[in-house]
């Protein structure tokens, strides 16, 4: 289906990618071209030749869904909207968005070659919110730019009415209908609800809220504690054991009706020196009612050298005579 301005999720991903890799900075100045100014639909009425910094452009895209700001940023990053759209499609393919094709950066087009699915929108929404800075803008109800001369009002009414809402983006055209990708978090459970083709803006918000309600009512996140780990025996090493380090406890997604306790089982490899810090030496397995839910690697917290004749001799002399 046509996603309308929900398209801008991918535009924002490329913007935040550039900020993360250092090719773009928040205070870089972006100049509006005649083409960017000519965009219709939702806009902030940028003038040809007008310059605004990147952060202002992000506000205009996220809060007010500015098509002109989206195109200006596309031209700034890609050199042209066409090249930027090529990068959008390349990024989409890399994320596994198998049923998506973009022809512009803002979703204003009526081309049937511009399409996606709710699943693919959920995928790119999940990718965007890995950039936590995005929430500074998606949760802003009102702001101003141009030294207070232009007011921005968020198009996502859920941020004022839905408990736990964190974003994300709306879109509306006559072809696409009313669309939204809505993100929310409660008690560690993060959800994404996507609605395409609603017959009114009110209905898209109601449908998105219903999707999120369903998720929060039927699912929960459990974060089990890591078991205490003691030093692990090592054969043929200069030391007889090694300190283990476990990764972070996993977030386990469970149905709300799930009963029983999450069990942990630690298994170790048979360790023979040499061992390097960071080598995988074991695993923690999390199970519920016999089903494996997650597995966390345990790594060596230090190097352990193998015993050699020279190292053993040096150790013996050091022990006997205090030599280094």
User: What is the rounded distance in angstroms from the CA atom of residue 52 to the CA atom of residue 69?
Assistant: 9
The pairs formed by 147-155 with CB atoms below 8 angstroms and a separation of 24 or more are 150/44, 150/45, 152/44, 152/59, 152/60, 152/63, 152/64, 153/63, 153/64, 154/63, 154/64, 155/42, 155/63, 155/64, 155/65
104 and 85 Cβ atoms separated by less than 8 Å: yes
DSSP element (H, E) containing 33: none
CA distances from 113 to 103, 109, 173 (A): 7, 9, 15
CA 238 to chain centre: 43
Annotated catalytic residue, options 2, 5, 33, 125: 5
**Residue 288 CB contacts under 8 Å (≥ 6 apart), including other chains:** 252, 254, 258, 260, 261, 262, 263
2 carries an active-site annotation: no
8 carries an active-site annotation: yes
Return the C-alpha torsion angle 51, 53, 56, 62, nearest 10: 100
Region label for 286, one of left (φ > 0), alpha (ψ between -120 and 50) or beta (otherwise):
beta
Q: Is the peptide bond before 215 cis (omega within 30 degrees of 0)?
A: no
Annotated catalytic residue, options 2, 33, 42, 65: 65
Annotated catalytic residue, options 2, 8, 125, 169: 8
37 carries an active-site annotation: no
Catalytic center residues: 5, 8, 65
């Amino acid at each position: 289906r046509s996603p309308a301005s929900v398209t801008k999720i991918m535009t924002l991903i490329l913007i935040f990618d550039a900020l993360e890799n250092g090719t773009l900075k928040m205070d870089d100045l972006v100049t509006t071209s005649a083409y960017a100014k000519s965009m219709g639909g939702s806009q902030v009425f940028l003038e040809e030749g007008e310059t605004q910094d990147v952060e202002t452009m992000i506000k205009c895209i996220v809060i007010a869904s500015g098509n002109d700001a989206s195109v200006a940023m596309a031209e700034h990053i890609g050199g042209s909207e066409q090249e930027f759209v090529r990068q959008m499609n390349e990024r989409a393919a890399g994320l596994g968005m198998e049923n998506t094709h973009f022809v512009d950066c803002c979703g204003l087009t009526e081309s049937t070659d511009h399409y996606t699915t709710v699943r693919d929108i959920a995928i790119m929404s999940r990718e965007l919110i890995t950039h936590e800075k995005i929430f500074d803008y998606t949760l802003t109800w009102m702001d101003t730019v141009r030294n207070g001369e232009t007011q921005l009002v968020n198009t996502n009414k859920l941020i004022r009415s839905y408990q736990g809402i964190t974003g994300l983006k709306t879109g509306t055209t006559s072809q696409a209908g009313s669309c939204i990708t809505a993100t929310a978090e409660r008690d560690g459970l993060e959800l994404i609800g996507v609605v395409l083709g609603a017959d009114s803006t009110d209905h898209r918000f109601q449908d998105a809220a219903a999707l999120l309600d369903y998720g929060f009512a039927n699912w929960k996140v459990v974060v089990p504690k890591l078991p205490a780990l003691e030093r692990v025996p090592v054969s043929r090493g200069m030391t007889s054991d090694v300190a283990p380090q476990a990764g972070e406890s996993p977030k386990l997604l469970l149905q709300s009706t799930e009963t029983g306790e999450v069990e942990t089982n630690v298994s170790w490899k048979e360790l023979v020196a040499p061992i390097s810090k960071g080598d995988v030496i074991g695993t923690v397995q999390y199970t519920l009612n016999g089903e494996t839910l997650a597995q966390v690697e345990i790594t060596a917290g230090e190097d352990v050298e193998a015993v050699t004749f020279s190292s053993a001799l040096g150790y013996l002399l050091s022990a006997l005579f205090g030599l280094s």
